[in-house]
Amino acid sequence: MAAVKQPLEPRDKPCDPPGALPYGRQWLDGDDIEAVVRVLRGDWLTQGPLVVAFEEALAAACGARHAVAVSSGTAALHLACLAAGVGPGDFGITSPITFVASANCVAYCGGIPGFADIDPRTACLDPAALDEACARRRPKVILPVDFAGQPADLPAIQAVARRHGALVIEDAAHALGASYEHQGRWFQAGSCAHADLAILSFHPVKHITTGEGGAVLTNSPELFARLQRLRTHGITRDAALLTRQDGPWYHEQHDLGFNYRITDIQCALGLAQLRKLDRFVERRRDLVERYRAALADHADELELLLEGPGKRSSYHLLVAQIRGGTDRRRRVFEAMAARQIRCQVHYIPVHLQPWYRRHHGTRAGDFPRAEAYYAGCLSLPLFPAMADDDVDRVADALRTTLARS
| List of residues contacting ligand PLP (CB under 6 A) | 72-74, 98-99, 101-102, 145, 171, 173-174, 201, 203, 214
- Concatenated DSSP letters of 165-210: T-EEEEE-TT-TT-EEEETTEEEETTS-SS-SEEEEE--TTSSS--
**In terms of CB distance, is 373 or 398 closer to ligand PLP?**
373
**In terms of CB distance, is 203 or 226 closer to ligand PLP?**
203
**In terms of CB distance, is 21 or 80 closer to ligand PLP?**
80
Minimum distance from CB of 264 to ligand PLP (Å)? Answer: 18
C-beta of residue 27 within 8 angstroms of C-beta of residue 205: no
**In terms of CB distance, is 179 or 401 closer to ligand PLP?**
179
Closest CA to 307 of 211, 177, 405, 403: 177
Cα(7)–Cα(400) distance, integer angstroms: 32
Cα(152)–Cα(146) distance, integer angstroms: 5
Minimum distance from CB of 111 to ligand PLP (Å)? Answer: 17
Minimum distance from CB of 208 to ligand PLP (Å)? Answer: 12
**Which residue is catalytic, options 140, 206, 276, 311?**
206
Q: Which residues pair with 117 in a beta bridge?
A: none
206 is catalytic: yes
Cα(217)–Cα(210) distance, integer angstroms: 17
Minimum distance from CB of 301 to ligand PLP (Å)? Answer: 27
**In terms of CB distance, is 122 or 401 closer to ligand PLP?**
122
On the CB side of 260, CA atoms within 13 Å amount to 27
Mapped onto helix, strand or coil, the DSSP state of residue 161 is: helix
**In terms of CB distance, is 69 or 272 closer to ligand PLP?**
69
C-beta of residue 271 within 8 angstroms of C-beta of residue 213: no
Dihedral sign for Cα 7, 11, 16, 20, please. Answer: positive
Minimum distance from CB of 212 to ligand PLP (Å)? Answer: 6
Strand pairing report for 167-171 and 197-201: parallel
Mapped onto helix, strand or coil, the DSSP state of residue 145 is: strand
Which residue's CB comes closest to ligand PLP? Answer: 73
Minimum distance from CB of 201 to ligand PLP (Å)? Answer: 3
Catalytic amino acids?
Answer: 206
